[in-house]
Structures are given as structure tokens and as C-alpha cells.
Chains A and B, each alone.
Chain A
Amino acid sequence: MTTVLDVTDFSVEFRTRSGTVKALDRVAFRIGRGETMALVGESGSGKSVTAYALLGLLDAAGRITGGRASLEGVELTTASPAALAAIRGRRAAMIFQNPRAALNPIRPIGQQIADVVRRHAGLSRRDATSRAVEMLREVGIPDPVRRAGAYPFELSGGMCQRVMIAIAVATRPALLIADEPTTGLDVTTQAVVMDIMAKLAGETGMATLLITHDLALAAERSGRIAVMHAGHIVEEAATRALLAAPRHPYTRRLLAATPTAAGDLAELRSIPGNLPDLRRADLPPCRFAARCPQHLEACEAPMVWRDIAPAHRIACWNPA
């Protein structure tokens, strides 16, 4: 499988008035063509920061402090802002939660799609408009010619998310980052939206990074899962292997706290303790240590990645 996105030792910090937030620390993962990898973890674990940092969308306080990230062989961490802007939307696209707010409220949706294809495919205005209609049809929006003139407030949340997908995939990107794409949608709509993404990924070989709270969704829709905790990826494995035999204590807690595997991490209360304060200067090598039931003396040693089974990595000195 060709690697589309290859991230190694990727670190991000935010300079704030109250100190430096070490939001990501040596994050590493790969996604191959046509593959869907889920990035799961509690709120505040750094999932969105990962996505924004990769696409060069961090706000002024945020900075990539180390590591590499290459998309189709192009290094993102050292790319100029202009080069990044040309890659964004063309080779890597992103969709967000709360699709209605993510669309320009006073611009017809067809226009918003056309803006993107005009920018990246250099189409004429008319060609861009017909491409927009085509995309609306592709994401299953009924009566696309008429709907192209509609405004976001005239569409349901699910329809808005389809428009977001249409914007994202109109240029046939190699990578789609979906940051909680179904949060706030009802269950049926969630399934429809995920089906559309899966279908497009299947047809175009697009790699998908699915960021979610929802373990059930990850279980159902991803080939691999990476578990993130406080800016570290703590475990990564094929979805089936990870669900069947989680090895990192945090992953085990997550799964145990989701008895039917259909729960939502946002509602979990049963993982004791909080994420550590990422502004601390003396963050322990394992950021889960303070909450970990299996904590050992050895856990104070610098953390290293270990393969404990084929394609199953963890960062833990005392795995279950």
C-alpha cells in the first residue's frame, strides 16, 4: 500500500500568556492510499491540533517544534505558506463538525464549491459551476441544479455536511481529514454521511483520517485506530486487533468505559483523573502515569515505541 501521509516525531506547542502548551509530543502515524485511520481520544487530547498543524492552519500562537510530515512525498513542516495553501484543498482537504457554521452563510453553496475548484483546477466560471452541480449530485443531494443556489440556512445539518464533503473532495485530494464529521447529526444522517465518505474514498483511493470521540464509529468505519492521550499517541493497531486485545492501560480504560462499544467518549466519567496540565515544565515521560493503575518505577524512563505484535504499537512500559 502506498503511503499517503507519513508523520514522524511531530511536535506542536502553543505559546500562551500562562506558559507554553506542549500540545503534541512526537506524534507518529502513517496512512496509506484508500485507508481510513481513526484518531480517538478524550476531549483536549490534541486530535484537532494534529489536523490543523498538518495543514498549516494553526493560529499565530501555535508552532510546529519538531518532526516531519510528508504528504505524497511533499514535506509539509517546511513548506512555505503559499505552498501549503496550494496543497490545502487540492491534495489534502478537511471537513469539520458543525457543518452549518463551517459554511459561508451568505454565499450560495454551489458558489462555495465552485470557488474551490476554480482555485485549484483553474476552471472557468461556467465549468466550475457545472462541476459544483456535479459534486452536489455525487454527494447525493437531490435536485442539485436548484440546490446549488441555496444558502446553508436553507439546508439541514446533514445536507450541509454533504456540501462540506463536496467542497473537500471536489479536487480529488489524496487525503481527507474529517474532524468529528458526524457530531451533532442524528444517527441515520451520521450513517449516510459516513457512507458517502467511504464510497468516495473507495472510488478515488483517498486516504481518510477520521477524528472522533465515538469509539463505535471508529470501530465500524476505520481500518486502523490510533489512540491519543494528552498529545501522545499511546497505542496504534488494526481496528479489530485493538478492539479485541487492547494493550495500553488507557486504551483498556477507554474500551471498558464503553461497554457496548457504542458509547461516546465525551460522556465518559469512569476514567479517573484528568489530562495533565500541558503547560507544566516537568511533564512526565508517560503523560498517563498519574492516572494509571499499572504505574511502575520503570514508567519514569523515557518513553519508546514498541511493536508488541505485527502492526500493533504501544508506548507503555507495563502493558496489560
Chain B
Amino acid sequence: MRGVLWRLAGSLPALAAVVVVTFILTRVLPGDTATYFAGPTASAESIAQIRTALGLDRPLPEQFWSYVVALFHGDLGMSLTTGQPVLVDILARLPASAELTLCGLVLAMAVAIPLGIIAAVRQGSLADHACRVIVTAGVSLPVFFTGLLLVYVFYFLLGWSPAPLGRLDAFASAPPTVTGFYLIDAALIGDWETWRSAFAQLVLPAVTLGLFALAPIARITRASMLAVLGAEFIRTARAAGLASRTIILTYALRNALLPVVTTLGMVFSFLLGANVLVEKVFAWPGIGSYAVEALIASDGAPVQGFVLTMAILYVALNLTIDLINRALDPRARQA
């Protein structure tokens, strides 16, 4: 437990650095927020007025100070594009991103982990070759490309999937928010119509992300499973005549999962990044597309809010990975 608290404390400097960097970044980015907002026909006077209203005319350290103070009050500023507090926007959009990313990850795990195991246990088998092909293909296909390709094939050519325009088709309405995950919320009230619609919309972007995550997970599962299967304690288990099921699942797999979990953490953080592109391709109303739109509009506060949210997610993610590792590995609990 103390180790976990230490980890948490250890991530504070990183978070502080992120706050500083995002602040500076949004100030040096090209494009003047005040000019953008005043509109193309505005006079110099009204631009100056807006600048004052936004506090952009004050010295940088002062701006930074008020930014930090506001942060501690949970105030991430206002989005000039949506006219809403950034925090409200992000909280409203976060579940969309989370649902998509988690589905992508779960999908990738469901395929990659069994594939990696079988590839390691039956070397040279069909599964082993499939694993190798997927790993090679996975690293060479950029995520927006797979996204566009899937849309082209399954929407445009085959017409199997709905238009890539968000989380629900035009005729469905969002289920009442409990978790913000449409699949869960719709299931909770038994609204299977909406559930199906949400599911249909989710399939392609989730598969896109899943394909992206598949390769590293399959590769590390295979490699770590192979390493463990060659370990001396597996030889002991075989010499003791344990059933091969027990040897593979209880002895080999549990040990092999340790590096897999660490990799999952990394993959998940890559996915958060890849999300931005995928959300753009599928018009997914998540925080990634929110940030992109804000960036294009030189709207600083949402961008800051986005980067900060990502940083917090990374910290939370690493902490989770740590906790899982502790649960799996008694040696990690010791340290």
C-alpha cells in the first residue's frame, strides 16, 4: 500500500510539468485566440477588448498563476468554440472516448492473448504463422489508414455497417446517462434497439483500434510465453507429471502475464493517442476530436484541458498496472 502511495506521489512532478508545458504550449502556438474570436471583420479595438476579457494582455507569469489557481478549483477555463466550461465538455465527452478505447483494447486482448499463447505452445503451427503475419502487418499499418480502409470496405462497398458518424445513428437517442457508456446504459434500461445501434456504430472504430493494439500484445504474449515455457520451474512441473492444462494455464501463463500486463499499459497509452485520429475518422464525439477541433480554432483552454486529462489518465493507468502487477507477482508486493 505504501508503495502505491509512493508511486502516486512520484507522479506529481510529472503532472506539474504537464501543467507548465501545456500552458506554455498554448501561448506559443500560432494563431491569436482573440483575433480568431473577434471574427474577420472585427476592429482592432474589439480585438483588444476581447484580449482584455480573456486576460491575454497580462504578463505570462500572472496568467500562469491565475491558470493554476483556477485549476485547483477545478476550473479548466471556458471553451470559446462551444461556450461551455472545458471541464463540462470533457466530462461529457470522456465516456465516448473511454468506451471506444476500452472496447478496442478488450477486442485486441481477446484475440492477441490466446493467439500468442497458442503460437508459443504450438511453435510452427498455423496459429504461429498467423501470429507472425499479424505482428508484421500490425506494425506497418497506420491507424487512420486501417480506419479509412474499414469504412471504405464495410460501409461504402459492402454496406454492412452504418455511416461512420458518431456513437448512434440519427434516429436513435442516447440512453439516460449512468456510466456514459452507451452499451452499458442501454443494457441497464433494457433498450436493445439503442444498444444495437450503439454497437453497430462502435464496431468499426473499435476494430480499427483493436487492430492497432493487436500486434504488440500478440508479440509480447508469444515471446514471454516462450521464455516461461523454457524456464526451469516448467521443467519441474513437467517432471512432477502435472497435466499440460495446469502447466500451460496455471504455471506458464500466470508468469507470462507479468510482462504482458506491463505491455498492456503501454499499448493503452498508445491507444489514447491513436484515439485522436480514429475519432476524427469516425466523427466520434470523444475528447480526441474535441481537442482537434479546439486546436484548429486556436482555442487554448480545451487543448490544455485535453492534455491535462491525458496526463491524469496516464498516471491512473500506470497506477492500475502497478496494482495488477502487485496482485499477480508476490515479488512486486515486497519491493
Residues of A within 8 A of B (CB): 55, 57, 85-90, 93-94, 96, 98, 101-107, 115-116, 119-120, 151, 153, 164, 167-168
Contacts and interface: CB of A to CB of B under 8 A. Distances in A.
Given A86-B241, A89-B240, A167-B240, A57 B246 contact: no
B331 interface: yes
B233 A57 contact: no
A116 B241 contact: yes
A17 B75 CA distance: 67
B241 A88 contact: yes
Contact of B236 (A86, A90, A120, A164): A164
B241 A102 contact: no
A145 B257 CA distance: 29
Contacts of A168: 240
B255 A115 contact: no
Contacts of A151: 330-331
A102 B255 contact: no
A102 B235 contact: yes
Interface in B178-196: none
B331 A85 contact: no
Contact of A105 (B235, B241, B331): B331
- State which size class the interface on B falls in: 20 to 34
A55 B239 contact: yes
Contacts of A93: 239-240
A94 B239 contact: yes
B67 interface: no
Contacts of A86: 241
B254 interface: yes
Given A98-B232, A153-B334, 11 more contacts: A85-B241, A88-B240, A90-B241, A101-B231, A102-B232, A104-B233, A115-B246, A116-B241, A119-B240, A119-B241, A119-B242
B232 A120 contact: no
A106 B250 contact: no
Q: With a 10 A CB-CB cut-off, give which of B232, B329, B334 has the most chain A CB atoms.
A: B232
A126 to B, nearest CB: 18
A167 B241 CA distance: 11
Given A151-B330, A153-B331, A105 B233 contact: yes
A87 B239 CA distance: 10
Nearest to B241: A89
A120 B241 contact: yes
A151 B332 CA distance: 12
B251 interface: yes
Contact of B242 (A57, A89, A153): A89
Nearest to A94: B239
Given A96-B235, A98-B232, A101-B232, A106 B254 contact: yes
Contacts of B251: 104, 107
A94 B334 CA distance: 30
A119 B246 contact: yes
Given A86-B241, A104-B255, A96 B330 contact: no
Contacts of B231: 101
A60 to B, nearest CB: 9
A96 B236 contact: yes
B331 A88 contact: no
B237 interface: yes
Interface in B218-248: 231-233, 235-244, 246
B232 A119 contact: no
A116 to B, nearest CB: 5
B310 interface: no
